[in-house]
């Protein structure tokens, strides 16, 4: 699209780089690349951390990503973005986090005046204890934010975005993409302050938009953009070479299996699968993190997988099982659909249910229904065929370039 000027845009996110594979961080990187490919000058302002559990300072202060475009999707010239990283001065403190959450639960017992003061103190204590805590990043924004046409903040939960919105110049346009989901921290006062300071809000799904509007009335007064992620990486510089050595034999020899894909942690609701899967049914878990699978049960723990392994797993699985409660948009569900892999989704996740309603799959509302669907998928090929997603519709509607164009169209309107 033709632009009136070459816009200078900065993304603010808690960590970012080619080594960082987490959802919000990968989203920021891909949207930044899409905007650069449309002619914008784009920087990503982040921390030197590569690990959200420790918030280490292992990444280099700067990184340049020069892209060669997939010519089947883009026609613009290759572009480059710069990632500027600032050192983190506070590492995750699990005990302090537990203390802050405990006090959150009892602060309602305090008087209104004391509660207001205590809430602000506790919110800052929580953000410091959780990490990353990066004063140099928000000092940079305090002194340089006026040099940008647009600041894009990705994720509500971490100090870089909270403090970045607070300290950046009030005259600069700010697009806040919260990645909101119904966890305890989302209902804290600092989230309302972030929404108040934003010029506009970006949502990755209608489910996320509905949650934010229902929880925070201030959000309904802001301009809103629907900015779903694209599918995978649309730039060859970020694609992992799919060589045979990246594929372990176990990935090719699982037999009939269901797949769970993504980071393995408590927030992903994995106990539902571990405690209720039908005996004799194989479930493979693929993704970083630790999981304590019961000895009884046919569970295969693959750990982190390469892109080539992920592709094979999705192509051969009976179905993807998607049960995470805390999702603004389920990227793994969308990727499975684009590969033609059916999805069994839990009705308790609005984001997953939204994708299934749009593109196909099956939803379960109870444990008995979950078990029944596993057996039916295993024994009835016709049932599986009927549950196949609309691959072409998924690929057509989910595009980084389309989301980037929506951002630029809004920015152009604001500059008229």
Summarize pLDDT for 326-370 with one digit per residue, the tens: 777 888 888 899 899 999 999 988 889 999 999 999 999 999 999
Chain centre distance of CA 379: 34
The alpha carbon torsion through 404, 229, 386, 361 (nearest 10 deg) reads -140
The rounded distance, in Å, linking the Cα atoms of 408 and 232 is 22
Residue 239 above 80 pLDDT?
no
Band (pLDDT 50/70/90 cuts) for residue 94 is confident
Rounded to the nearest 5 degrees, what angle is found at the Cα of 86, between the Cα atoms of 85 and 91?
A: 115
Q: What is the pLDDT of residue 110?
A: 62
pTM, full prediction? 0.83
In the block, residue with structure tokens 């490919």? 37
Instruction: State the pLDDT at residue 296.
Output: 60
Question: What pLDDT does 234 receive?
Answer: 53
pLDDT at 75: 41
pLDDT at 73 over 80: no
- Residue 212 is predicted with a pLDDT of 96
Give the model's pLDDT for residue 332: 85
- Those residues whose C-beta lies under 8 Å from the C-beta of residue 291, and which sit 6 or more positions away, are 264, 270, 274, 285, 301
Instruction: Return mean pLDDT, the chain.
Output: 86
Q: In what order do the strands lie in the sheet with 299-303?
A: 299-303, 283-286, 258-261, 320-322, 343-346, 362-364
**Cα(329)–Cα(351) distance, rounded to whole angstroms?**
5
406's torsion region: left (phi>0), alpha (psi -120 to 50) or beta? alpha
Mean pLDDT of 15-25: 79
What number is the average pLDDT over the span 388-400? Answer: 89
Average pLDDT over residues 224-251: 68
Q: What band does 240 get if pLDDT is binned at 50, 70 and 90?
A: very low
Question: 21 pLDDT exceeds 80?
Answer: no
For the beta carbon of residue 286, count every other beta carbon within 10 angstroms. Answer: 22
Residue 326 neighbours by CB distance under 10 Å: 17
pLDDT per residue as tens digits for the range 177-212: 998 888 888 988 899 999 999 999 999 999 999 999
Does the pLDDT at position 381 exceed 50? yes
For residue 209, the tally of other CB atoms under 10 A from its CB is 20
C-alpha 415: how far from chain center:
29
Of 120 and 235, more confident? 120
Which of these, 347, 398, 351, 344, lies nearest to 373 by C-alpha position? 344
Structural domains for the chain: 8-92+131-233+399-414 (3.40.50.2000), 240-397 (3.40.50.2000)
């Amino acid at each position: 699209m033709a632009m009136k000027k070459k816009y200078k845009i900065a993304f603010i996110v808690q960590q970012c780089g080619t080594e960082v594979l987490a959802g919000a961080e990968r989203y920021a990187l891909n949207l930044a690349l899409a905007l650069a490919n449309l002619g914008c000058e784009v920087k990503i302002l982040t921390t030197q951390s590569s690990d959200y559990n420790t918030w280490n300072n292992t990444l280099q202060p700067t990184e340049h990503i020069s892209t060669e475009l997939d010519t089947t999707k883009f026609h613009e010239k290759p572009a480059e973005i710069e990632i500027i990283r600032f050192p983190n001065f506070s590492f995750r403190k699990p005990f302090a986090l537990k203390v802050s959450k405990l006090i959150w639960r009892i602060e309602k017992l305090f008087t209104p005046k004391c509660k207001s003061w205590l809430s602000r103190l506790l919110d800052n204590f929580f953000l410091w204890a959780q990490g990353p805590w990066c004063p140099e990043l928000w000092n940079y924004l305090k002194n340089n934010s006026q040099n940008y046409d647009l600041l894009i903040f990705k994720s509500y939960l971490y100090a870089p975005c909270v403090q970045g919105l607070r300290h950046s110049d009030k005259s600069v346009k700010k697009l806040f993409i919260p990645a909101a989901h119904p966890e305890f921290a989302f209902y804290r006062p600092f989230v309302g302050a972030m929404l108040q300071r934003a010029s506009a809000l970006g949502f990755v799904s209608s489910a996320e938009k509905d949650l934010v509007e229902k929880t925070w009335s201030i959000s309904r007064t802001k301009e809103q953009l629907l900015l779903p992620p694209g599918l995978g990486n649309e730039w060859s510089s970020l694609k992992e070479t799919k060589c045979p050595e990246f594929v372990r034999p176990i990935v090719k020899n699982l037999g009939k299996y269901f797949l769970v894909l993504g980071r393995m942690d408590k927030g992903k609701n994995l106990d539902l699968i571990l405690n209720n899967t039908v005996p004799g049914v194989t479930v493979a878990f693929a993704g970083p993190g630790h999981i304590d699978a019961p000895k009884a049960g046919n569970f295969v723990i693959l750990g982190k997988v390469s892109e080539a392994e992920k592709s094979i797993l999705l192509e051969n699985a009976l179905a993807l099982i998607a049960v995470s409660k805390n999702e603004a948009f389920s990227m793994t569900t969308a990727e499975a659909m684009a590969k033609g892999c059916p999805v069994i989704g839990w009705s308790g996740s609005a984001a997953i249910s939204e994708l299934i309603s749009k593109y196909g799959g099956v939803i379960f509302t109870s444990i008995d229904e979950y078990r029944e669907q596993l057996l039916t998928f295993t024994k009835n090929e016709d049932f599986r065929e009927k549950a196949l997603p609309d691959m072409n519709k998924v690929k057509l509607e989910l595009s980084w370039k389309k989301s980037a164009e929506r951002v630029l169209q809004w920015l152009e309107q604001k500059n008229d």
